[in-house]
């Protein structure tokens, strides 16, 4: 995907990532791909579930940068978590990758793709070895389910209930 894809409304990007392939070139040169089926949007200063809602820190500063970069952080000291920055520079927003076909959960996804802190702040590109491809597959709007985000009760009922989680459920 070109950088302009990410420089748009975070919820639109989160939904339009569904069905596209997350791609990673491993150190061996082998390329692995997985079709994205679940994402979550985190958008701006007002979003109390966002790491950036209180302003920039050493951990979240990448969210304030330009769109189309990887934001990778360690969750609970156990799992690396992958996000893609969105919107314009200075506005903190990102899309969390929750899963690809055959790999459920954000921690399992990063483990499968061998993604860690070395990928944080990298531009999403084939040259850097982490990118998203669109094979042109059409996603039927009826196959997309919206749900509340996961594990953010700390943000308060209003923010926990927002349907900013997007799940692609293709008919089989």
- Evaluate if residue 172 carries a pLDDT over 50: no
- Evaluate if residue 31 carries a pLDDT over 90: yes
Which residues are CB-contacts of 147 (< 8 A; sequence separation ≥ 6)? 163, 165, 167
pLDDT tens digit sequence for 133-170? 999 888 888 899 999 999 888 998 999 999 999 999 88
Helix (H) or strand (E) holding 107: helix 106-113
Tokens matching residue 38:
């679940």
CB 117 within 8 A of CB 80: yes
DSSP 71: E
Task: Give the sign of the dihedral formed by CA 155, CA 112, CA 168, CA 44.
Answer: positive
CB 10 within 8 A of CB 87: yes
- Evaluate if residue 70 carries a pLDDT over 80: yes
pLDDT tens digit sequence for 32-62? 999 999 999 999 999 988 988 888 888 889 9
pLDDT tens digit sequence for 83-137? 999 999 999 999 999 999 999 999 999 999 999 999 999 999 999 999 999 998 8
Q: How far apart are CA 93 and CA 96, in angstroms?
A: 10
- Report, as an integer, the average pLDDT of 68-95: 93
In degrees rounded to 5, what are phi and psi of residue 41?
Answer: -100, 140
Written as one string, the DSSP assignment of 88-100 is STTS-EEEEEEEE
List of domains in the chain: 3-168 (3.10.300.10)
- Evaluate if residue 30 carries a pLDDT over 90: yes
In degrees rounded to 5, what are phi and psi of residue 94?
Answer: -160, 160
- For the entire predicted model, the pTM comes to 0.94
Q: How far apart are CA 153 and CA 131, in angstroms?
A: 31
- Report, as an integer, the average pLDDT of 26-30: 96
């Amino acid at each position: 995907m070109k950088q302009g894809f990410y420089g748009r409304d975070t919820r639109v990007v989160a939904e339009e990532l569904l069905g596209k392939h997350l791609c990673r070139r491993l150190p061996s040169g082998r390329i692995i791909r997985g079709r994205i089926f679940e994402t979550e949007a985190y958008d701006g200063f007002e979003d109390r579930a966002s790491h950036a809602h209180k302003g920039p820190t050493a951990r979240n500063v990448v969210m304030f940068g330009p769109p189309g970069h990887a934001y990778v952080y360690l969750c609970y000291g156990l799992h690396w978590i992958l996000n893609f920055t969105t919107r314009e520079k200075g506005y903190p927003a990102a899309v969390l990758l929750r899963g690809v076909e055959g790999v459920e959960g954000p921690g399992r996804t990063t483990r499968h793709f061998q993604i860690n802190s070395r990928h944080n702040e990298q531009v999403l590109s084939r040259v850097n070895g982490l990118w998203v491809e669109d094979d042109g597959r059409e996603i039927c709007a009826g196959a997309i389910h919206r749900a509340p985000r996961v594990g953010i009760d700390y943000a308060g009922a209003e923010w926990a209930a927002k349907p900013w989680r997007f799940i692609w459920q293709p008919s089989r």
